[in-house]
A = this chain, B = another copy of it.
Amino acid sequence: MPRLADPVIHLGMLLAAIKINGFPCKANISADDFFFAGLRNPGNTNNPAGSVVTAANVEKFPGVNTLGVSIARIDYAPGGQNPPHTHPRATEIIFVLEGTLEVGFITTANKLFTKIVNKGDVFVFPRGLVHFQQNRGHGPAAVVAAFNSQLQGTQAIAMTLFGATPPVSSDILAKAFRIDNGEVDAIKAKFAPK
Contacts and interface: CB of A to CB of B under 8 A. Distances in A.
A120 B84 contact: no
A140 to B, nearest CB: 15
A182 B39 CA distance: 38
Interface in A81-99: 81, 83-84, 86-89, 91-93, 95, 97
A56 interface: yes
Copies in the complex: 6
A84 to B, nearest CB: 5
Interface in A61-119: 61-64, 67-71, 73, 79, 81, 83-84, 86-89, 91-93, 95, 97, 102, 104-115, 117-119
A108 to B, nearest CB: 4
Contact of A179 (B30, B155, B187): B187
A63 B93 CA distance: 11
Given A117-B35, A155-B130, A68 B8 contact: no
B89 A128 contact: yes
A83 B157 CA distance: 13
B67 A109 contact: no
Q: Which of A56, A91, A105 has the most CB of B within 10 A?
A: A91
Interface of A: 1, 3-12, 14-15, 18-22, 24-25, 29-32, 34-41, 48-49, 56, 59-64, 67-71, 73, 79, 81, 83-84, 86-89, 91-93, 95, 97, 102, 104-115, 117-130, 132, 134, 144, 146-148, 151, 153-155, 157-169, 171-173, 175-179, 183, 186-187, 190-191
19 contacts: A1-B62, A7-B59, A7-B153, A8-B108, A9-B126, A14-B22, A35-B122, A39-B95, A40-B121, A64-B93, A68-B148, A88-B127, A89-B128, A95-B144, A106-B155, A130-B155, A148-B148, A157-B176, A158-B178
